[in-house]
Chains A and B, each alone.
Chain A
Amino acid sequence: MNKHHLHGAFAVASALALVACGSDGGSGGTDAAAGEAGAWQPNRPITYIIPYGTGGSTDPIGRQFASQLSEELGVDVVVENREGGAATIGTTGIVTAQPDCYTLGLSNHTALANQPALNPDLPFQTTDDYTPLVKLGDIPVVLAVNADTPWQTLEEFLAAAEADPNGIGYATSGAGGTPDTAAKLLEIRSGIELNRVPFSGGGGEALTAAVSGEIESIGTFYPSMQGFVESGDLRPLGIFYDQEYPLLPDLPLIGEQFEGASMPAAYYTIAPANLDEECRDTLVEVSQQIVESEEFQQFAEENGYVTDPIQLDELAAEIDDYRPVFEEIEGSDA
């Protein structure tokens, strides 16, 4: 209880701090070229908040969307990186901005579906507290083992894990991150128990540990391990996902074998609630066009994302579907 109060205090403090900071990014020439879609026509730069640091692994997808948004709407879109608090600081910034369509941003399923349950005072408790504009894509977690381990298939790995509870090490980039959560879900669904080791300081250390054999297995996103798979240092065994993953079409889907054990990182563009209908409809239309565009599709393919441009109610439903899953995972810790 006490903990909840504390979290609430942080959330409020963060909201106040962010409101106080305002959201003026840089400025730029606003030679408002005619937008291609919709009736709403922005006449000044739009701020796009990314709740992660510049140059992090999540920064590029936000920037890709922002730059295409700028092309589509004919105004500058200023990217603002507000990292920290498991993406809640940046998300709070988006949700509490003026609902005038000039502040949007990136968020993800953990910030929107898991964090509100942990911090009851975050200003985004339900999907009614913001406008879920469009889903940019999923990036699934891949399970891989050091090439010197004996396990050649997912079955062998799972059998070994079952025979030796808490005996096989599984490296992640941090407790509570998507790779960690994905493995927890597998543990709940399959009854195995892994020794999940959270490394911090960027995903590089978890990778180094898995490549050197310090730890037997690792869960991470495919692009960061791809080089080590190609060089033969790591062997991918399965994907914590329930749809076909084009980068690794032959790998077993853990989410299919174990009902509901699918836990990708999912990224969305959201905006404050109560947007003016005209500009909301324009943004909805434009953002769908962007995600479906050839340029965005190519970006997604190169960076390991699976796109699925669902919007508004459909997207809200997806976020709501994640809630019980996270609750189950949190519950299993107690």
Chain B
Amino acid sequence: MNPIEGLLYGLELVFTPELLLAAFVGAAAGTAIGVLPGLGPVAGAALILPLTFTLPPAAGLIMIAGVYAGSMYGGSTTSVLMNMPGESASVVTAIDGYEMTRRGRAGPALSIMAVGSFIAGTVAIVLVTLMSPLVANIALLFGPAEYLALTGGGLLVLARVAGGSPASGYFPMVLGIMLGTVGVEQVTGIFRYTFGLQDLALGFSLVPVAVGLYGLAEIFLLIEDPDRAAKVRSVKLRELLPSREEWRRAWAPWGRGSALGFFFGLLPGPSATLSSFASYRLEKSVSKHRDELGKGAVEGVAGPEAANNGAAVGSLVPLLSLGLPFSATFALMLAAMVVQGIQPGPLLIEQRPDIFWSLIASMYVANVMLLVLNLPLVGVWVSLLRVPKSMLMPGILVIAVLGAFSTRNSMLDVWVLLAMGVVGYALRKLDFAMASLIVGLVLGPFIEKHFREGMFLSRGDLSYFLDSPIAIGIWVVALVVMFGGGLWRLLRRRLIGAEGEKVKLEVED
């Protein structure tokens, strides 16, 4: 079965009233789950998983896909409206999304996200269909050395994702890496920096940290300066939809974000998060409006939101070629399959094409459902901002605390949330970039893990990490992105300077 036939076959399988209903229920539940900080895509899918054990395989699958897409979108909704990222992939959306909200453009930001997710889903599915034979085994080319280059290089490049001075990026990044070392060490299972607290064994979970740094700190800032609050003039349709200018500016980031996300999706690891950050970084380098990024630019919302959805679909490729789920959500989807007696593996597509193609088709249908569900909801979300601040702020605080607690049913996470709120407030006052703290917290453990695996594999030989052309290539790209701009300026100054000398000399002659 060629890919196009396969996709059509899958769509045929999922286009039944029951399955469309399952997709709708999943997307609706997912959006609700995502809007609550604390429950992200993986937690949402895990919550719904036991329910799907009683459903037929395809219905369970499509419902999980719906929950996943819905909670991704829901998580970004709170990023935009309240500067409160519901999960790590929407942290970067908060930067420009919330600035747009403050300028009264919350509706357009949400619409651009919804359409962008849908477009990225479509682009990535086309890429899966056309390119999977070419890129199928890319994951097999990546071992610990290559992953170390990707995550380590990524860390260096992304530390300054939000711009600013080097110190304002690297200091929070180091803080994030340090937070990431707390808990059970991944390779050998030794407890680190837990100080006798069993709850710390699982480490700092991202949700209380992100919600504290962004959401809580924002509330503190609002108390200090009530004029910061988002302005909502009206929720008329014209105000909710992006202007022609905003549409026009969204197209290129959508495209770039989709492709970037797809590529990251081919590799295991935190691909959705990594790709959203990378997309923001990319927009900062290539966008025509790069100077506006950080101040409420459409590009800062369109790119990352497309990227994280592209990554979700891109991870279908390793699933196709290896039968290995590279994202937690696909792992859960496969868990749903295993319960039905289907074992994942490289022959999955040959042995069970129905399962494989309905997986792809269900991702697609879930994206469509999300668009159908969420475009009309934009107005509702924006209306939330019209709730008087004296009620909205305590409400957000309660939800944030509940969300932090519910991640692991641990009071510790609530204290982490409050502490991070204070830290976030201080960092903001001092002009530090908080996105790099999140980058450090997300990537730090991966860097350590790949480094340790490589050391085991090479029996302690450090040269192993530079023994691979792919790893070297990634490091070179990272260094070029990091220092390229500076070097270029230096070089140009030298050249111009030299010419200046020459002119002077000629004059003297």
A197 and B346 form a contact (CB under 8 A) = no
Indicate if B222 sits at the interface (CB-CB under 8 A).
Answer: no
Q: Number of A residues whose C-beta is below 8 Å from B?
A: 54
Residues in B with CB closer than 8 Å to A197 are 453, 456-457
Cα distance A305–B149 in the bound complex, in angstroms: 39
Indicate if B332 sits at the interface (CB-CB under 8 A).
Answer: yes
Cα distance A226–B341 in the bound complex, in angstroms: 13
Q: Which of A13, A54, A227 contacts B49 (CB 8 A)?
A: A54
A13 and B197 form a contact (CB under 8 A) = yes
B215 CB, min distance to chain A CBs, angstroms? 26
Residues in B with CB closer than 8 Å to A79 are 50
> A46-87 interface mask toward B, CB cutoff 8 Å, 1 = contact, 0 = none?
000000011111011001000000000000000100001110
Most buried by B among A14, A166, A209: A209
B143 and A214 form a contact (CB under 8 A) = yes
Cα distance A13–B49 in the bound complex, in angstroms: 30
Cα distance A185–B445 in the bound complex, in angstroms: 30
Q: Scan residues 314-331 of chain B and give those whose CB is less than 8 A from a CB of chain A.
A: 322-326, 331
Q: Which residue of the partner chain A has the closest CB to B196?
A: A9
B322 and A208 form a contact (CB under 8 A) = yes
Stretch at the interface among A101-109, A198-206, A287-295, A312-320: A198-206
B194 and A10 form a contact (CB under 8 A) = yes
Q: Which of B196, B339, B410, B459 contacts A166 (CB 8 A)?
A: B459
A174 and B268 form a contact (CB under 8 A) = no
Indicate if B295 sits at the interface (CB-CB under 8 A).
Answer: no
Most buried by A among B139, B347, B457, B459: B457
Indicate if B345 sits at the interface (CB-CB under 8 A).
Answer: yes
Cα distance A204–B327 in the bound complex, in angstroms: 11
Indicate if A41 sits at the interface (CB-CB under 8 A).
Answer: no
Cα distance A13–B200 in the bound complex, in angstroms: 11
Residues in B with CB closer than 8 Å to A282 are none
Cα distance A60–B340 in the bound complex, in angstroms: 10
Cα distance A166–B198 in the bound complex, in angstroms: 36
Indicate if B430 sits at the interface (CB-CB under 8 A).
Answer: no
Cα distance A219–B213 in the bound complex, in angstroms: 42
A84 and B202 form a contact (CB under 8 A) = yes
B326 and A204 form a contact (CB under 8 A) = yes
Most buried by A among B324, B332, B346: B324
Known: A86-B189, A211-B140, A214-B457. A202 touches B345 (CB 8 A): no
Known: A54-B46, A174-B187. A201 touches B198 (CB 8 A): no
Most buried by A among B139, B202, B456: B456
B457 and A169 form a contact (CB under 8 A) = yes
B198 and A17 form a contact (CB under 8 A) = yes
Q: Which residue of the partner chain B has the closest CB to A202?
A: B331
> B180-191 interface mask toward A, CB cutoff 8 Å, 1 = contact, 0 = none?
000010111101
Q: Which residue of the partner chain B has the closest CB to A89?
A: B198
Indicate if B53 sits at the interface (CB-CB under 8 A).
Answer: yes
A83 CB, min distance to chain B CBs, angstroms? 9
A209 and B143 form a contact (CB under 8 A) = yes
Q: Which residue of the partner chain B has the closest CB to A225?
A: B345
Cα distance A213–B385 in the bound complex, in angstroms: 55
B196 and A6 form a contact (CB under 8 A) = yes
A205 and B50 form a contact (CB under 8 A) = no
Interface positions of A (Cβ within 8 A of B): 6-7, 9-11, 13-14, 17, 21, 53-57, 59-60, 63, 79, 84-86, 89, 166, 169, 174-176, 195-202, 204-205, 207-209, 211-212, 214-215, 223-224, 226-228, 230-231, 233, 302-303
Cβ contacts A to B, 9 pairs, < 8 Å: A7-B191, A10-B194, A60-B339, A169-B457, A195-B456, A197-B457, A198-B456, A215-B457, A231-B347
